[in-house]
Amino acid sequence: MSYCLNPNCSNPENPPYSDRCHSCGSNLLLRDRYRVIKSLGQGGFGATFLAHDENLPGEPSCVIKQLRPSGNAPHILQMARELFEREAATLGRIGNHPQLPRLLDFFEDREQFYLIQEYISGATLQQEVKAGGVFSEAGVRQFLSESLPLLQYIHGQKVIHRDIKPANLIRRAQDSRLVLIDFGAVKNQVAQVANQSGQTALTAYAIGTPGFAPPEQMAMRPVYSSDIYALGVTCIYLLTGKSPKDLEYNPTTGEILWEHMVNISPHLKNVLRKMLEVSVRSRYQTADEVLRALEMEPYLDSLAQSLVAQPVGAERVADSGMLHSGSPSGSSAGVAQVAAAIRARRAKMMGGDTSGLYTASRQRHTSGKTNSWGSGNSMVTHGSRSQIRPIDSEGFQSAYSKGRRDFALHNLSCLNLQSADLSGTNFHSAVLERANLQGSNLYNSDFGRASLNRANLRDANLSKAYLSHADLEGADLRGADLSYAYLNNANLRGANLCGANLTGAKISEEQLALAKTNWMTIRPNGKRGLL
* Residues forming the active site: 163
H-helix or E-strand spanning residue 113: strand 112-118
Q: What is the dihedral of CA 229, 230, 235, 240, to 10 degrees?
A: 110
DSSP codes joined into one string, 152-193: HHHHHTT------SGGGEEEETTT--EEE---TT--------
Q: Compute φ and ψ for 212, nearest 5 degrees.
A: -85, -30
Which residues does residue 180 pair with via DSSP β-bridges, in sequence order? 169
Query: Residue 377 and residue 344: Cα distance in Å, rounded?
Result: 6
Position 238, amino acid: L
Contact 275, 143 (CB under 8 A): no
Position 134, amino acid: V
> Cα-atom radius of gyration of the chain, to the nearest Å?
25
Q: Compute φ and ψ for 444, nearest 5 degrees.
A: 60, 20
Query: CA nearest 230: which of 174, 298, 277?
Result: 277
Contact 186, 202 (CB under 8 A): no
Q: Angle formed by the axes of helices 287-304 and 137-156, to 10°? A: 140
Q: Which residues contact 495 (CB under 8 A, 6 or more apart)?
A: 472, 473, 474, 475, 476, 477, 514, 515, 516
Per 3-state DSSP, the chain is made up of helix, strand and coil in percentages (nearest 5) of 25, 20, 55
Reduced 3-state DSSP string for 184-249: CCCCCCCCCCECCCCCECCHHHHCCCECCECHHHHCCCCCHHHHHHHHHHHHHHHHHCCCHHHCEE
Query: Residue 17 and residue 409: Cα distance in Å, rounded?
Result: 50
Query: Residue 354 and residue 342: Cα distance in Å, rounded?
Result: 11
Q: What is the C-alpha end-to-end distance of the chain, expressed in Å?
A: 47
What 3-state class would DSSP assign to 346?
Answer: helix
Q: What angle do CA 46, 85, 76 make, to 5 degrees?
A: 60
